[in-house]
Amino acid sequence: MRRNHWWNVPFHLTGRGITTRPMGGDGGNPVFTVDFDFVDHRLTASALDGSTTSFPLLGHSVASFYRDTLAALGRIGVTVTLPHPHPYTLPDAHRPFAEDTEHASYDPFWVNRHWQVLSQVNLVLEEFASGFCGKISPVHMFWHSYDLAVTRFSDRSVELAADVDPVTREAYSREVISCGFWFGDEDLPRPAFYAYAAPEPAGLFGRPLRPAAALWTERGGSRLAALDYDEVRGGPDPRAAVLDFYA
């Protein structure tokens, strides 16, 4: 079921990895979930009727993972039709998943390590979210940019340009302040905590930040505050430093 601002789409942290929300229940499909287990390194698909199936995450290319995921869903009675089975906003977005045999890396140690980092960050974001009584998103993980985030909303609508894509239009239909963590990209090539407001209030960019290691930066055409993960990790109280940054 679709929710406002695409809250039905992201992943959520579990005690063993990440999971989808329960979905399906229409078009003849059962209610089901898909879980990535980063302890035993398996993908598991489970349906409400108790049927379940899984396969190892190790040893796949994108193409074979795509094939085995569709097959696993089929075994629990789920029929999937993807209108555009391609990567989202990646350099090879023109290449269908079924044809990508090039990308095939999976290191169990670092996959588990990245999940442990996300699990710690998830707890801090949950604590930060608990102090706001207005409209706020769940703490969730956006797969397209692979960031863990929580977003506060005002009740003021935002008029976006006519050429804005439907995904962005729905996500930013209200004034927001978003806080989160991601592992880095070409614009900021290291793990970092981040925060931004959209639309950006006049005079916000460049204002003093806490703690002292935080800085303003530009990423993908947007401007945000960032705090380096290694700076936090090496400090005396990482949790307090991140909460101070988000505040």
DSSP the chain: ---GGGTTSSBEE-SSEEEPPPEE-STTPPEEEEEEETTTTEEEEEETTS-EEEEESTT--HHHHHHHHHHHHHHTT-----S--S-SSSTTTTS-GGG--S-----HHHHHHHHHHHHHHHHHHHHHHTT--S-BPPPEEETTTTEEEEEEEEEEE----TTS-HHHHHHTSEEEEEEEEE---SSS-S-EEEEEEESPPTT-TT---SSTT-EEEEETTEEEEEEEHHHHHTSS-HHHHHHHHH-
Task: Compute φ and ψ for 154, nearest 5 degrees.
Answer: -95, 175
Amino acid identity of residue 169, one-letter, is: R
Query: What is the C-alpha separation between 60 and 101, in angstroms, rounded?
Result: 9
Domain boundaries, the chain: 4-99, 108-246
What pLDDT does residue 58 have? 98
Mapping DSSP to helix (H, G, I), strand (E, B) and coil, where does residue 40 land? coil
What pLDDT does residue 171 have? 81
What pLDDT does residue 119 have? 98
What pLDDT does residue 193 have? 98
Q: Which two tokens stand for residue 57?
A: 């995450």
What pLDDT does residue 2 have? 60
What pLDDT does residue 237 have? 97
Q: Is residue 242 exposed (0-12), middle (13-18) or buried (19+ Cβ within 10 Å)?
A: buried
Task: Compute φ and ψ for 16, nearest 5 degrees.
Answer: -135, -5
Query: What is the C-alpha separation between 188 and 213, in angstroms, rounded?
Result: 15
Q: Are 19 and 67 spatial neighbours (Cβ–Cβ below 8 Å)?
A: no
Q: What is the pTM of this model?
A: 0.91
**Tens digits of pLDDT across the chain (247 residues):** 566 767 788 999 999 999 999 999 888 899 999 999 999 999 999 999 999 999 999 999 999 999 999 999 999 999 999 999 999 888 889 999 999 999 999 999 999 999 999 999 999 999 999 999 999 999 999 998 899 999 999 989 888 888 888 878 888 888 999 999 999 988 889 999 999 999 999 999 999 999 999 999 987 778 999 999 999 999 999 999 999 999 9
